[in-house]
Amino acid sequence: MDLGITGTGGNSDAQSDSQISHLALDIGGTLAKLVYFSGNKSSVKASGRSRSILQGKLHFSKFETSKIDDCVAFIKRKQLGSHHPKDLGNDRIVVKATGGGAFKFADLFKEKLDFCLDKEDEMDCLVAGANFLLKAVDQEAFTYIGGQKEFVKINQDDLYPFLLVNIGSGVSMIKVDGNGKFERVSGTSLGGGTFWGLGKLLTKCNSFDELLELSHQGNNRVVDMLVGDIYGGIDYSKMGLSSTAIASSFGKTISANKVLENYRAEDLARSLLRMISNNIGQIAYLTALRFGLKRIFFGGFFIRGHAYTMDTISVAVHYWSKGDAQAMFLRHEGFLGALGAFVNYNKQGPDNFILMQQVPKEKPKSDGTEPEGEDSFLRCLHQACWA
Ligand SMILES: Nc1ncnc2c1ncn2[C@@H]1O[C@H](COP(=O)(O)OP(=O)(O)OP(=O)(O)O)[C@@H](O)[C@H]1O
Ligand SMILES: CC(C)(CO)[C@@H](O)C(=O)NCCC(=O)O
């Protein structure tokens, strides 16, 4: 996940670099996400006028919210936010933060880091982050159909409206009509937390990635009741239901004379992933239908760039919409909120945000998943900000 920059253009003349870092946080129910900028501030002369630019990298890191102390230690070690302005009232470093944790952990950040968290609305940040990515980053959105990833060319004049489905611990569905113009139109509690929580209980695995890996090797037919199981191996063709369609997720576990230990963890994980992904895909489609939306962007860390998850969601949207609506995914899926909080620093000034250009992508892992999102970065240029 490495993107490069374009310059300011024209005849520019940069001088006097000084190190700088900026930070924004999104502390969710399961994961705390950090977006931070590290780079140099310099002054540039272009067309006879002088202005300040920042040039460097946007870094992305995440921590389990239950281990928020690790996140605090990381911020301290890297001295993130040390260049932020201070609150005039209490002399604390002001840092933009979103997600429920911005409320829950406000005192902790005050005590341990002397931060004053400047709270930004979670939905506002998700939308700002998605809009920013879709506008500023080339090759951000892609479709995933039949194992094929295809980047979507975003037409800035024909971007809205769209449905943004953020699959975090829970799921929020937001109708986006423009910059800062949105409505949270639906949601479901059956989300990433459900998959991870039930998966942990059922398979006893120790990490989310291990659960995904298990699902990769599983066969859901051992666990799910298929149409064919009910119809004696044949399709229910009158209703367009093939024998291989899932009639009832986990439905086979009641009829077999088995207990949990008799099932393979891989099969349980696969079935669970399909159940959650299918359900979200179906609700997303129904929500899009309700508002006449054709484009659905999926974000949130549940997706994790995982091939089978994206495939299941895409198939669900395609199946229910009869090909009318399209599921699209975002490369920075889990960082929408944190990025949104970060770009909100810009609300105060007339700054020109980041110009970016794609550079060759890292090779995906053999199972088709994206490389580890930990501490990946975008190279970026930020003109005239925090000057
Ligand atoms: N390393 C990980 N540890 C835990 N969960 C992970 C991990 N990687 C991906 N996930 C998945 O991502 C989900 C959390 O996603 P995300 O960070 O987008 O949401 P959140 O902000 O924590 O939740 P919410 O927005 O509902 O408060 C988890 O529920 C799990 O399904
Ligand atoms: C509560 C939030 C917004 C916190 O991020 C999220 O977990 C969510 O959208 N949950 C689903 C809640 C519902 O609409 O049923």
Question: Which tens digit of pLDDT belongs to each residue from 27-64?
Answer: 999 999 999 988 877 777 777 777 777 778 889 999 99
Whole-number pLDDT of residue 41 = 75
Kindly tell me if the per-residue pLDDT of 3 is higher than 60. no
pLDDT over threshold 50, residue 367: no
State pLDDT tens for residues 67-84. 999 999 999 999 999 889
Neighbours of 203 (CB within 10 A): 22
- The mean of the pLDDT values for the chain is 87
**CA 27 to ligand 1: nearest atom:** 21
- Average pLDDT rounded to a whole number, residues 188-214: 98
- Residues in Cβ contact with 129 at an 8 Å cutoff, skipping those fewer than 6 apart: 332, 335, 336, 337, 338, 339, 340, 341, 343
Q: How far is ligand 2, taken at its centre, from the CA of residue 327, in Å?
A: 21
CA 146 to chain centre: 22
Q: Cβ neighbours of residue 259 under 8 Å, at least 6 residues apart?
A: none
Q: What does the alpha-carbon distance between residue 196 and residue 332 come to, in Å, rounded to a whole number?
A: 20
What is the ipTM score, two decimals? Answer: 0.99
Cα(37) to centroid(ligand 2), Å: 28
Most ligand 1 atoms within 8 A of CB, residue of 30, 60, 272, 275 to mutate: 30
Tell me what pLDDT residue 226 has: 98
For ligand 1, say whether the CB of 304 is within 6 Å of any of its atoms: yes
* Ligand 2 and 98: CB distance under 6 A: no
In tens, the pLDDT along 250-298 reads 999 997 689 999 999 999 999 999 999 999 999 999 999 999 999 999 9
- Residues 78-84: contacts with CB under 8 Å, at least 24 apart: 78/21, 78/36, 79/21, 80/21, 80/22, 80/23, 80/34, 80/36, 81/21, 81/22, 81/23, 81/36, 81/113, 81/115, 82/21, 83/20, 83/21, 83/22, 83/386, 84/22, 84/23
Token pair recorded at residue 127: 């939308």
CA dihedral (180, 5, 137, 277) positive or negative: negative
Q: pLDDT tens-digit profile of 127-165?
A: 999 999 999 888 999 999 999 999 999 999 999 999 999
Q: Is the CB of 36 under 6 A from ligand 1?
A: no
Pick the atom of ligand 1 nearest to 122's CA: 25
Which amino acid belongs to residue 175?
K
Phi (first) and psi of residue 9, to 5 degrees: 85, 160
Name the band, by pLDDT with cuts 50, 70 and 90, for residue 370: very low
Output the CA–CA distances (angstroms, integers) from residue 50 to 42, 57, 169, in the order listed.
10, 23, 46
pLDDT in tens, 117-131: 999 999 999 999 999
The residue whose CA is least distant from atom 11 of ligand 1 is 302
- Strands 31-46 and 49-64, sheet pairing: antiparallel
Could you give the CA distance from residue 365 to residue 343 in angstroms, rounded to a whole number? 30
Backbone torsions φ then ψ of 109, nearest 5 degrees: -70, -30
Report the percentage of the chain scoring pLDDT > 90: 73
pLDDT score at 352:
46
Average pLDDT over residues 221-249: 97
Q: What is the pLDDT of residue 18?
A: 61
Closest CA to 105 of 137, 78, 70, 135: 70
Matching residue, tokens 């979200």: 280
Separation of 223 CA from ligand 2 center, angstroms?
29
Distance 74 CA to ligand 2 centre (A): 27
The strand pair at 295-299 and 162-167 is best described as parallel
The reply to whether ligand 1 has any atom less than 6 angstroms from the CB of 196 is yes
Decide: 168 in ligand 1 pocket, CB within 6 A.
Answer: yes
Does 100 sit in the ligand 2 pocket, CB within 6 Å? yes
Residue 8 has pLDDT above 60, yes or no: no
Global confidence as pTM: 0.89
- 28 pocket-lining for ligand 1 (C-beta < 6 Å): yes
115-119 and 93-98 strand pairing? parallel
For 382, residues 6+ apart whose C-beta sits below 8 A from its C-beta are 37, 53, 54, 55, 351, 353, 354
Side by side, the strands of the sheet bearing 148-151 are 148-151, 141-145, 326-330, 295-299, 162-167, 171-178, 181-188
Give backbone dihedrals phi and psi of 190, rounded to 5 degrees, phi first: -90, 90
Cis ω for the linkage preceding 161 (within 30 of 0): yes
Tokens standing for residue 54: 């920042």
CB-ligand 2 contact for 185 (6 Å cutoff) = no
Tokens representing 43? 């002054």
Q: Which atom of ligand 1 is nearest to the CA of 333?
A: 18
Which one of 31, 66, 184, 303 would you pick to mutate in the ligand 1 pocket, going by the greatest count of ligand atoms within 8 A of its CB?
31
Lowest-confidence region among 48-52, 256-260, 329-333, 377-381 = 377-381
Kindly state if the Cβ of 299 falls inside 6 Å of ligand 1: no
Q: Quote the pLDDT of residue 346.
A: 77
- Residue 377 has a pLDDT of 56
Q: Which of 341, 349, 358 is nearest to 386 (CA)?
A: 349
Ligand whose nearest atom lies closest to the CA of 28 = 1
